[in-house]
């Protein structure tokens, strides 16, 4: 079942962490990597993933690492607000396929919301323009 199971080291985020797949990075340190979601639900949609773990979701993530991970989520969220002047931000993560999870390495979504602009569907459509994502990542990184 997707909520519990064996960590698959071939998942796309594990590949990104190993440098085997590309990402448009916002920031990284010894514990986390933040990068742009290539199928953004809004302009500036970022993902933050912990390093050095084999955690499929929040439930199997080492408790002692939660503080470090969510401190980084807060740092990223503040930078997104400052860089993009959004009107709100969704900070969320999904546990198990029925909850909407599709990549089984723990990750947190930071999704800016803009008044009167609809949210795009989760997993929808084509990948975003890489040049646009790079420009957003640079602005967010500069606001850290």
Instruction: Please report, as ranges, the residues that interact with ligand 5GP according to CB under 6 A.
Output: 12, 23, 35-39, 47, 94, 100-103, 123
Catalytic machinery residues? 107
**What is the nearest approach in angstroms of ligand 5GP to the Cβ of residue 7?**
14
**What is the nearest approach in angstroms of ligand 5GP to the Cβ of residue 94?**
4
Rounded CA-CA distance 24/100 in Å is 23
Rounded CA-CA distance 72/46 in Å is 12
Q: Say if CB 2 and CB 11 are below 8 A apart.
A: no
State which residue, 64 or 121, has the beta carbon closest to ligand 5GP. 121
State which residue, 52 or 102, has the beta carbon closest to ligand 5GP. 102
Rounded CA-CA distance 141/144 in Å is 5
Rounded CA-CA distance 70/18 in Å is 22
- Of residues 75, 77, 71, the one with CA closest to residue 92: 77
**What is the nearest approach in angstroms of ligand 5GP to the Cβ of residue 104?**
7
Position with the least CB separation from ligand 5GP: 39
State which residue, 103 or 141, has the beta carbon closest to ligand 5GP. 103
């Amino acid at each position: 079942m997707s909520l519990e199971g064996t960590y698959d080291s071939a998942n796309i985020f594990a590949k990104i962490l190993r440098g085997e797949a590309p990402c448009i990075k916002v920031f990284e340190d010894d514990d986390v990597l933040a990068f742009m979601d290539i199928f953004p639900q809004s302009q500036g949609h970022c993902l933050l993933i912990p390093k050095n773990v084999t955690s499929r979701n929040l439930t199997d993530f080492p408790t002692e690492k939660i503080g470090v991970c969510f401190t980084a989520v807060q740092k990223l969220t503040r930078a997104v607000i400052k860089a993009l002047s959004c009107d709100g931000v969704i900070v969320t993560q999904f546990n198990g396929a029925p909850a909407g999870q599709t990549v089984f390495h723990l990750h947190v979504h930071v999704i800016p919301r803009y008044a009167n602009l609809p949210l795009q569907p989760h997993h929808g459509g084509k990948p975003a323009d890489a040049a646009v994502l790079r420009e957003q990542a640079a602005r967010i990184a500069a606001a850290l």
